[in-house]
Amino acid sequence: MPPPRRPATRNDSATRPPRQAPAGRRPADASDAKPRVPAGSSARPWILDPREPWLIPALAIVLTRLGLAGLVQYAAEDAYITFRYARNFAHGIGLVYNPGEHVWGFSSPLWTVWMSAAFALRAPPEAWARGTNLVIELLALWAFGDLLRRHASGAAAWCFAFFFALWPYVTAVSLSCMENTLMLALIGLASLGAERRALWAGPALGALALVRPEGVVSALVVSLCAGWRDRAIALLLAVAGFAALALYFGTPVPQSLIAKSLVYGTPGPWSGRHWWDWLSPFVFGGFTSITEGTHLFLMSVVFAPAWVLGFLRLRGALRSGLAVAIGACLAVWLGYTLLGVAYFWWYLLVPMAGFALLAAAGFPALARGPAIYVSTGLLIIGLWTIAPDLYGGRARVEYAGFARVANALRSLVKPGDKVFLEPIGMVGYQAPVRIVDEIGLVSPEVARRRAAGPGWYTDVVARERPDWLVVRNGLLVRGEAWAGVGAPFRNAAERASLLAEYQAVWSSDSFAPAQALVLLRRR
């Protein structure tokens, strides 16, 4: 007599063999599954639910940006280059830095044209840029949060939202008035729109291609998730935009990109290790040389395994909106790393966001219990004890050097005087002068001459005969350029002969004497 059958229990499923797929049908994989939305979602939009990762992080974004704005009163030095282009465009002079010179010396066509609206409306450009960045940060928070909720988890979305809202560096970039926050937001919006087949996907993808030179690469990555309609719209917008720029400037490649490549060079990944030495807790012969990298290195003990877990989670859905958004950010990072691109602190935002998204996807699998969440949160919040001095101090140092020499020039020059200098942002924005710049952002011939070798400073001065020179004290004393290739002078006698033609009339204070700026007038 057979033994009586035991009633089935819920645990029996753990020991049963998996059910085989019917013949003729392939097993479903992660790419076939619909995007997951957390259970328990209400009928109202998730961003209106305080339990979801938008309302509270959005409030934190508003408070931190307004709080730090009182200490960071000025935009980043390079933002004023864009402001001068935008002001000239708004006033009918043209999309030019120096009147009559069609040189593409700005990084972002979209941001420059948008900033021209501030001058057309007589709005303060700093407030206009910061207000815009605040709005697009909230859009980025929504887009990336939705992608993480769909393809990772609600906990992952909370991790990214907390980091994005409270990591002080993100706030500083927003207040810098640069276009990098816009680029990051466009990556999120284009990725989410492409996945949803939304009407805004094509325009967002086209705008991403035009926002910065790196945007072209990011747009190509995001297009892997897009439909043919969105790709066609994006391609049409991008081609039209670059064609218009090429007709106006004579080239589809920004002079700012060419000049930085020639002057700063592309020394490769070891010289450019500031882009990657904060990723791993392993110390590569020394700690990272950049401030933001030092802060990220403190996180690497938990971030490094979280990146790995995040990749493992997403590897089955590499063409999802979240995966292409991460890929679009990391493609920029990979380009910076392989080329060894010179570090400008606002460049780090997009690569860092890509790693933050990847880490957020894997962090909940790493954090067993609240301990790691608490310790990581304490680190992020604790950085705010030094953020005011760091970013407020950086703004004050730039003002002390650049804005003061701009004020001095403004009081001494005649409109149209020619000035040869390196920091062309605040000086060019405030003083009514024609600029010849040492890097070649708005003076292409300078970049070409620098790449040719020593004596470039002497040769440029001989050709341009500027009325004024703005130099760092290190060039006067030791004949050293601030940065970039090429010795300014062939020998000490050449330096002495050139400087004899000019008289020092003003100098700035500096914590490092070699960095003090000196204003010289032609005798």
The string of pLDDT tens digits covering residues 324-348 is: 999 999 999 999 999 999 999 999 9
Task: Say whether 433 sits in a helix, a strand or coil.
Answer: coil
Element (H, E) at 436: strand 434-437
> Please, what is the Cα angle at 166 between 115 and 356, to 5 degrees?
90
Beta bridge partners of 412: none
Whether 136 and 181 have beta carbons less than 8 Å apart is answered as yes
Task: Say whether 266 sits in a helix, a strand or coil.
Answer: coil
In the sheet with 517-522, reading across from the earlier edge strand, the strands are 434-437, 418-421, 468-472, 517-522, 502-507
SS3 helix, strand, coil % of the chain, rounded to 5?
60, 5, 35
Q: What percentage of residues in the chain have a pLDDT greater than 90?
A: 83
Beta bridge partners of 521: 468, 503
Whether 143 and 313 have beta carbons less than 8 Å apart is answered as no
Which of 35-49, 170-184, 379-393 bottoms out in mean pLDDT, i.e. has the lowest?
35-49
Instruction: Collect all residues with Cβ–Cβ distance below 8 Å to 321 and sequence separation of at least 6.
Output: 35, 147, 150, 151, 191, 192, 194, 195, 196, 225
CA–CA gap between residue 187 and residue 350 (Å, rounded):
9
Whether 173 and 349 have beta carbons less than 8 Å apart is answered as yes
Between the alpha carbon of residue 304 and those of residues 66, 135, 332, the distances in Å are: 32, 31, 19
Q: Which two tokens stand for residue 151?
A: 């393809």
Burial letters 45-57, b for 16+ CB under 10 A, else e: ebbeeeebbbeeb
Q: Which two tokens stand for residue 374?
A: 């608490």
Task: Tell me the DSSP string of 54-113.
Answer: THHHHHHHHHHHHHHHTT--S--TTHHHHHHHHHHHHTTS-S-SSTT------S-HHHHH
Is the model's pLDDT at 22 over the cut of 50? no
Q: Which two tokens stand for residue 466?
A: 């500027």
Between the alpha carbon of residue 457 and those of residues 130, 259, 499, the distances in Å are: 37, 16, 11
Domain ranges of the chain: 46-385, 390-522
> How confident is the model at residue 137, as a pLDDT?
98
> How confident is the model at residue 21, as a pLDDT?
44
CA–CA gap between residue 77 and residue 87 (Å, rounded):
16
Whether 342 and 353 have beta carbons less than 8 Å apart is answered as no
Which one has a higher pLDDT value, 172 or 479?
A: 172
pLDDT tens, residue by residue, 49-103? 999 999 999 999 999 999 999 999 899 999 999 999 999 999 999 999 999 999 9
> How confident is the model at residue 45, as a pLDDT?
82
Q: What's the per-residue H, E or C state across 208-236?
A: HHHHCCCHHHHHHHHHHHCCHHHHHHHHH
As a whole number, the mean pLDDT across the chain is 91
> How confident is the model at residue 481, as a pLDDT?
85
CA–CA gap between residue 485 and residue 457 (Å, rounded):
12
pLDDT tens, residue by residue, 257-315? 999 999 999 999 999 999 999 999 999 888 888 999 999 999 999 999 999 999 999 99
**DSSP label at residue 444:** H
Q: What percentage of residues in the chain have a pLDDT greater than 70?
A: 91
Q: Which two tokens stand for residue 419?
A: 């000035």
Is the model's pLDDT at 25 over the cut of 50? no
Confidence of residue 44 (pLDDT cuts 50, 70, 90): low
> How confident is the model at residue 10, as a pLDDT?
39
> How confident is the model at residue 474, as a pLDDT?
87
pTM above 0.75, yes or no: yes
Confidence of residue 121 (pLDDT cuts 50, 70, 90): very high
Which of 35-39, 218-222, 295-299, 382-386 bottoms out in mean pLDDT, i.e. has the lowest?
35-39
CA–CA gap between residue 43 and residue 291 (Å, rounded):
44
Single-letter residue type at 278: W
pLDDT tens, residue by residue, 445-484? 999 999 999 999 999 999 999 999 999 988 888 888 888 9
pLDDT tens, residue by residue, 384-412? 999 999 999 999 888 888 999 999 999 99
> Please, what is the Cα angle at 390 between 376 and 164, to 5 degrees?
40
> How confident is the model at residue 286, as a pLDDT?
84
CA–CA gap between residue 329 and residue 350 (Å, rounded):
5
> How confident is the model at residue 32, as a pLDDT?
38
Topology of the domain covering 390-522: Rossmann fold (3.40.50)
If you search the block for the tokens 């030095």, which residue do you land on? 77
Is the model's pLDDT at 116 over the cut of 50? yes
Total H helices, total E strands in the chain: 23, 5
Task: Tell me the DSSP string of 365-432.
Answer: HH--SSHHHHHHHHHHHHGGGTHIIIIIHHHHHHIIIIIHHHHHHHHHPPTT-EEEES-HHHHHHHS-
Is the model's pLDDT at 18 over the cut of 50? no
Whether 117 and 107 have beta carbons less than 8 Å apart is answered as no
Element (H, E) at 452: none
Rounded average pLDDT over 1-8: 44
CA–CA gap between residue 78 and residue 81 (Å, rounded):
5
> How confident is the model at residue 2, as a pLDDT?
43
Number of residues written out for the chain: 523
Confidence of residue 510 (pLDDT cuts 50, 70, 90): low
Q: Which two tokens stand for residue 269?
A: 């990944």
